[in-house]
A and B are shown apart, each in its own frame.
Chain A
Amino acid sequence: MLRSVRSLHIRSQTLVKGRGLANAAPKFPAQSQGHLPTSNSPLVSKLQFFNSVTSESGQIPTYRVLDGMGKLIDGAEVPDALSEDFARRLYENMQLLPTLDNLLYNVQRQGKISFYVTSYGEEATIIGSAAALAPDDEVLGQYREMGVLLWRGFGVNSVMAQCFGNQEDKSGKGRQMPMHFGSPELHFHTISSTLATQIPHAAGVGYALKRDPSRRGKNVAVVYFGEGAASEGDFHAGMLLASTIPAPTVFIARNNGFAISTPASEQFYGDGIAARGPGYGVDTVRVDGNDILAVLNAVKEARRRCLESGRAVLIEAMTYRVGHHSTSDDSFAYRGRQEVEDRKKIDNPITRFRLFMESQGWWSSDEEEELKRRLKKDVLEAFKRAEGVKRHQLKELFSDVYGGQEPWNIKEQREELASLLKKYGEVWEPWRNELGNFQDKGQELFKE
Chain B
Amino acid sequence: MIISSGVLARRTVKRRIPGFTIRWQSTTGVEPPPAGGHLPSVATSQYLRLTREAAFRTPGLSWADEDGSSPARNIVGGRETRKMNTYQAVRDAMSVAMMKDDTAVVFGEDVAFGGVFRCTMGLAEEFGRERVFNTPLTEQGIAGFAIGLASMGQTAIAEIQFSDYIFPAFDQIVNEAAKFRYRSGGQFNVGKLTIRTPTMAVGHGALYHSQSPEGFFMGASGLKIVIPRSPIQAKGLLLSSIRDPNPVIFMEPKILYRSAVEQVPIDDYELPIGRAETLTAGSDLTVLTWGTPVYHCEAALHMLADPPSSLERLIPPSLRSAKIELIDLRTILPWDVDTVTESVSRTGRLVIVHEASQTAGVGAEIAAEVQKRCFLKLHAPVKRVTGWDVPVGCQYEKFIIPDSLRILDGIMESLNY
Give A contacts to B, CB under 8 Å: 138, 140, 169-173, 175-176, 180, 182-184, 189-190, 192, 194, 197, 199-209, 211-212, 221, 233-234, 236-238, 240-241, 244-245, 399-405, 407-410
List the B side residues contacting A169 at CB < 8 Å.
185
Q: How far is the CB of A185 from chain B (nearest CB, A)?
A: 9
Residues of A within 8 A of B135 (CB): 241, 244-245
Q: Which of B105, B152, B183, B244 is A212 in contact with, Cβ under 8 Å?
A: B152
A172→B334 contact, CB < 8 A: no
What does the 1/0 interface line of B172-187 toward A look like (CB < 8 Å)? 1001100111111111
Can you pick out 20 interface pairs between chain A and chain B where the beta carbons lie within 8 Å of each other?
Answer: A138-B152, A172-B185, A182-B185, A192-B179, A194-B176, A200-B141, A200-B145, A203-B144, A204-B156, A205-B151, A207-B149, A212-B152, A234-B141, A237-B141, A240-B136, A240-B138, A241-B144, A400-B182, A401-B181, A405-B274
B23 CB to closest chain A CB, in angstroms?
A: 29
- Taking a contact as CB atoms under 8 Å apart, the answer to whether B168 and A233 are in contact is yes
- Indicate which residue in A201, A212, A234, A400 contacts B186 across the interface (CB closer than 8 Å): A400
- Residues on B lying within 8 angstroms of A by beta carbon are 103, 105, 107, 130, 133, 135-136, 138, 140-141, 143-154, 156, 168, 171-172, 175-176, 179-189, 191, 221-222, 244-246, 274, 334, 337-338
Q: Which residues of A contact B246 (CB under 8 A)?
A: 402-404
A200 touches B185 (CB 8 A): no
Q: Mostly helix, strand, loop or mixed at chain B's interface?
A: mixed
Residues in chain A near residue B151, CB distance under 8 A:
189, 201, 204-205, 208
Q: Closest CB of chain B to A138's CB: distance in Å? A: 7
CB neighbours (8 Å) of A401 from chain B are 181-182, 221-222
Complexed CA–CA distance, A205 and B189 (Å): 13
**Number of A-B residue pairs at CB separation under 8 A:** 160
Whether the Cβ atoms of A241 and B176 lie closer than 8 Å is no
Contact A189 B188 (CB under 8 A): yes
Q: In the complex, are the beta carbons of B176 and A208 less than 8 A apart?
A: no
Name the A residues within 8 Å of B189 (CB-CB): 403
CA distance A169 to B334 in the complex (A): 29
* Contact present for A175 and B136 (CB under 8 Å): no
A403-B103 Cα distance, complex, nearest whole Å: 20
The chain B residue sitting closest to A240, CB to CB, is B136
Contacts of A234 in B (CB 8 A): 140-141, 144, 171-172
Q: Which residues of the other chain, A, contact B181 by a CB distance below 8 angstroms?
A: 400-403
Q: A170-B187, A401-B221 are in contact. Are A199 and B149 (CB under 8 A)?
A: no
Task: Assess whether B184 is in contact with A238, with CB atoms less than 8 Å apart.
Answer: no
Cα–Cα, bound, A172→B180 (Å): 10
- With A and B bound together, what is the CA distance between A400 and B148 in angstroms? 19
Instruction: Report the bound CA distance from A6 to B105 in whole Å.
Output: 51
A249 to chain B minimum Cβ distance, whole angstroms, is 9
Question: In the complex, what distance in Å separates the CA atom of A206 from the CA atom of B152?
Answer: 10
Query: B105–A203 contact, CB under 8 A?
Result: no
A189 to B181, CA, bound (A): 11
Known: A241-B144, A408-B334. 13 other contacts (CB 8 A): A184-B188, A190-B188, A200-B141, A201-B144, A207-B145, A208-B151, A211-B103, A211-B154, A241-B145, A245-B145, A401-B221, A401-B222, A403-B245
